[in-house]
Structure 1
Amino acid sequence: MDSKTFQFYFLLFLLSISFILAFVIFLPFIAALALALIFSVVLRPIHKRIHVSMPSMPGISALLTETIGVLGILLPLVVLGVLLVNQAESLYITLTQGSVKAYLQAPLVHLESAIQAYFPHTRFLDAFSLDVDTYLRHGLEWIINNMGTAFSKIASLLLSFFAFFFALYYLLRDGAALRRAVIRLSPLNDAEDKIILDRLELAINSVIKGNLTIALIQGILTAIGFTIFGIPNGILWGTIAAVGALIPGVGTTLVFFPATLFLFLTGAIVQAVGLVVWGALAVGLVDNFLGPRLIGNRMHMHPLFILLAVLGGIMFFGPIGVFLGPLSISLFLTLLYL
């Protein structure tokens, strides 16, 4: 083996080792860095307006943009978190007091009465004599007992937020230069690089400005509807509905169907009909009218791909997979297009 060949393989060995070390170092912050990249794209219009007013201070304009974006997200999350904790505490008290059994078995009593009108000798509740409140109480106690695991990760979350904050700052300040560097370093031609970056930016805007905005609006409308028509803990169920709305094919049906069924079975027919109408008009119209205007057909992706991308992204990346899943599939389809 001559010296040049040896040097090549030795350099390749060093490059492989350094790549593995770099990957291991950055791996704990992959989610934070990906989230910073997503937010840098979403906040770019705001940053451009601020930067125009102070072109000689790019650092200050980036910091102001980041402050506006972070506070605009954190403050509502803190308020929502406090409300959710209060409602979860109220639900836990209800479960531990044992009153939930009568509350949940009320629809079974009405259902048994309806069945006995046609089959007088049927004893439905005897066949369905589960101790409902015990199972629910045990389930909620398990969740509360495992909250310690979540709190033990506070240090990791703080480090991730620190990495997110600094990454977002530099992506806002040096975003244009970083884009040019990516295009320059890529082995593809510049036109193809620009197509890939533009498609990813469109996908980010579609997911964040479109899907997330619609999910938030539907969650708020669900909470309002549940409160109006007598379903307790409306904010808690509205939050669950918002999460369900992020998953194609699931949507707010995740909470509307069981809530409506419960109202029907408990004899609250007027409230049940009202909740159905509210879900169809107030919540459903958001999908049919606001959705096309916010999302349009910019991602050019079949709904099945979006569903699998969201579910697979959540399974692989965790909660941030709601965003990273569709982005990964969008990148894959863009590369196929090239």
Structure 2
Amino acid sequence: MRDSGILEKLEQRAFLFSLVAVSAVFALLIQPFFAPIFWACAISVIFYPLHKRLLARWPTRRNLVALFTLMLCVVLVVIPVLAVATSFVTEGVGLFQKVQSGEIDLASYVDKVKHAFPGVQSLAERFDVDLEKIKEQAVKAFTGAGQFLAKRALAVGQNTFQFFLNLGLMLYLAFFLIRDGDSMVAMLIRALPLGDEREELLFAKFAEVTRATIKGNLLVAITQGALGGLIFWWLGIPGALLWGVVMAVLSLIPAVGAGLIWFPVALYLYAVGDMKEATVLILFGVFVIGLVDNILRPILVGRDTKLPDYVVLFSTLGGLAMFGITGFAVGPLLAALFVAFWGIFIREFNEEDVPGLPVQSAQAESSSGSEQR
């Protein structure tokens, strides 16, 4: 009996080790497709409520309803994003070519700003700051960004098949996630050894944060980019569409975002004597574009994720640094799951809550004596 018990434990441990090893190898196998897999999951989470309402009306047309939901996603999200990205790359490459040909002299723009604000020169000399070196670095950074954009545009053109393959994989997987999302989640809840109650809480948190970060951040980005491009167009600033898209992308970074574009442009307008246009841009940037970030983002992102603004900021920056553009959604998601895990730990393994660490309201509603698997 003793030998059989030891053998059973050994077999169980060997199986668990093999399970972890196979899972790790499988994760490495699909790692190149992380972005399409993540966005397929995000699309299914965002559009699942719509799919559920449509399915309630046509319960026997499961495949057709899932396909219709996916087509709505393509029309409302995928096609507009591709159109804006194409316009952005086209205008960006055109601007870079003008800089390379000398039609646009970036150094002269920096010199105009420096001469218009002589106080900056004296202040820089007092603190041993070399403005000429800063000018060279700024020009070099812009040229490097233009070269990167041109290379990326060329790479996309050369790897068109890879791009559309990833897009097709994303839509293909999204169809099945939309159609079979409930059964897949139920299967994961049965498989994971965390306890059904905890797993349901974590999956609910994943869905909640994914919807909040993607819908909220994209809405803020689109609004700020549209407003920034509109004011640039109204003031007659060249490349309004390009700068609008750049502001939309940068607005994914909370707090600073679009200000990295419109504020330097306003300084340049002051430097060249366009006082009226510069004042209008400053006022519009602070009281219109800035308020969109200060009002909409906490409502759409911070409220639904139940994360403080500073956590959203740092997790977004960390996600962008680690995962690229996908990181604006992955970063806050990981932060929310981190808070959720620690909230569960505090609730179940401590007699009293630790002051200062937020505990999710959904966790407080669940009973503290949940049984583990």
Letter in structure 2 aligned against 1:59: N
Offset at residue 29 of structure 1 (A):
1.9
Equivalent position of 1:30 in the other structure: 34
1:337 corresponds to 2:351: no
1:260 partnered with 2:266: yes
In the alignment, is residue 63 of structure 1 matched against residue 67 of structure 2? yes
Asked if the contact 1:231–1:259 (Cα under 8 Å) also holds between the matched residues in 2, the reply is no
Q: Does 1:15 align with 2:22?
A: no
1:321 to 327, 344, 354: 327
> What does residue 53 of structure 1 align with?
57
Q: Deviations over 1:84-108 (max 9, x none)?
A: 244224413432442322x752563
* Matched AA of 1:294: L
AA matched with 1:48: K
| Number of residue pairs aligned between Structure 1 and Structure 2 | 330
Please name the residue that 2:103 is paired with: 99
- Matching of residue 281 in structure 1 with residue 287 in structure 2: yes
1:191-230 correspondence runs (5 A):
191-230=197-236
Task: Give the aligned CA root-mean-square deviation in angstroms.
Answer: 3.1
1:250 corresponding residue in structure 2? 256
Q: What amino acid sits opposite 2:281 in the alignment?
A: L
Q: Is the 8 A contact 1:246 1:322 kept in 2?
A: yes
Q: Does 1:302 align with 2:305?
A: no
Gaps of 5+ in 1: 120-126
TM-score (norm 2): 0.77
Q: Please name the residue that 2:111 is paired with.
A: 108
Which residue of the partner structure matches residue 369 of structure 2?
none
Q: Structure 1 stretch 262-271 or stretch 66-75: which is displaced more?
A: 66-75
CA contact (8 A) 2:93 2:150 kept: no
- The residue matched to 1:318 in structure 2 has which SS? helix
Alpha-carbon distance between aligned partners in 1 of 2:116 and 2:13, rounded to the nearest angstrom = 81
Contact between 2:93 and 2:149, CA under 8 Å: does it hold in 1? no
CA contact (8 A) 1:95 1:133 kept: no
The residue number in structure 2 matching 1:160 is: 166
2:48 is equivalent to residue 78 of structure 1: no
SS in structure 2 at match of 1:297: helix
For structure 1, which segment, 134-143 or 237-246, has the greater mean C-alpha deviation from structure 2 after superposition?
134-143
Q: Which residue of 1 aligns with 2:180?
A: 174
CA distance in structure 2 between the aligned counterparts of 1:7 and 1:113, rounded to whole angstroms? 78
Say which SS state the counterpart of residue 341 (structure 2) adopts: helix
Residues 16 and 295 of structure 1: CA distance in aligned 2, closer, same or farther (over 3 Å): closer
Q: CA deviation at 1:193?
A: 2.2
SS in 2 for 1:83: helix
Structure 1 residues 209 and 138 mapped into 2: Cα distance closer, same or farther (>3 Å)?
closer
Moved more, 105-114 or 212-221: 105-114
Task: Give how far 1:176 is off.
Answer: 1.4
Distance 1:314 1:113 in 2: 36
Aligned partner of residue 249 in structure 1, secondary structure: coil
Give the alignment's TM-score, normalised by structure 1.
0.85
Structure 2 unpaired stretches of 5+: 123-130, 345-373
Q: Offset of 1:293 from its aligned partner?
A: 4.2
SS at structure 2 position matched to 1:270: helix
Q: Give the drift of 1:200.
A: 1.9
One-letter code aligned to 2:186? R
Question: Deviation string for 1:242-277 (max 9, x for gaps)?
Answer: 121111232211101111111010111000001112
Mapped partners of 2:179, 2:48: distance in 1:
10
Structure-1 residue corresponding to 2:47: 43
Structure 2 matches for 1:143-158, cutoff 5 A?
A: 143-145=149-151, 147-158=153-164
State the 1:307 CA deviation: 2.0
